[in-house]
């Protein structure tokens, strides 16, 4: 997806994604589809999580989104350099957290850059019928997709900020991280005997 033709019409760049494992990489090929290859070296971001690139209208730069440790940032890769300017083959980071940035789009005159910006936030709450208010639950966990063990003593949840799987007691104590990036967990469920979490 995200197929983009270079301003001179000679090449295409596109995103190849395997969404089941959260991996996506930028590729390049000639405009006729020949010579497809990775745009960046395989060890630049391992595993790769790049996407959504666009050329500036003058063809000098290629701006794209890269995700590292759960944070999406914008990067720029010099594409064509005049002979008097030192060329670099490594991307340069344009944005840093705590806000995520993605889907960059250079203006037609290549002087501005438009992008999406977002900051992930979540708080687990419970409804208290006596007070009629929502109260904090599981402490400061940024929990989402919570499932409770059958005995009601443990909770398994996905941390909203990075997609990792955790388990803890209902008061938020005895937290244990069960998965690590780049793996993205979703929809956890306890086994009937409470010894395993499927996700």
Per-state percent for the chain, helix, strand, coil, to nearest 5: 0, 45, 55
The whole-chain average pLDDT of the chain stands at: 89
Alpha-carbon radius of gyration of the chain: 22
Q: Which two three-digit tokens encode residue 126? A: 């419970």
Q: Which residues face 68 on adjacent strands?
A: 71
Q: Would you say 61 and 78 are in contact if contact means Cβ atoms under 8 Å apart?
A: yes
pLDDT at 84: 47
pLDDT beyond 60 at 60: yes
Condensed to tens digits (0 to 9), the pLDDT of residues 159-195 reads 887 889 999 998 888 999 999 988 889 999 999 999 9
pTM of the model: 0.66
Instruction: Identify how many contiguous H helices and E strands the chain contains and give both numbers.
Output: 0, 18
pLDDT at 87: 52
pLDDT at 80: 62
């Amino acid at each position: 997806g995200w197929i983009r033709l270079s301003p001179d019409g000679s090449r295409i760049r596109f995103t190849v994604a395997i969404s089941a494992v959260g991996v996506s990489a930028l590729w390049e090929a000639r405009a006729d589809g020949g010579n497809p290859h990775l745009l960046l070296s395989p060890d630049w971001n391992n595993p790769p999580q790049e996407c959504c690139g666009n050329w500036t209208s003058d063809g000098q730069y290629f701006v794209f989104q890269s995700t590292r440790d759960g944070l999406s940032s914008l990067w720029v890769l010099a594409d064509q350099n005049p002979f008097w300017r030192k060329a670099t083959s490594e991307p340069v980071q344009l944005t840093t957290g705590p806000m995520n940035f993605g889907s960059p789009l250079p203006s037609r005159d290549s002087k501005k850059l438009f992008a999406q910006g977002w900051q992930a936030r979540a708080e687990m709450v419970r409804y208290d019928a006596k007070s009629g208010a929502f109260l904090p639950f599981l402490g400061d966990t940024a929990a989402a997709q919570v499932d409770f063990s059958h005995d009601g003593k443990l909770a398994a949840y996905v941390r909203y900020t990075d997609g990792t799987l955790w388990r803890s007691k209902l008061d938020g104590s005895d937290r244990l991280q069960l998965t690590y990036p780049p793996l993205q967990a979703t929809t956890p469920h306890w086994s009937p005997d409470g010894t395993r979490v499927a996700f």
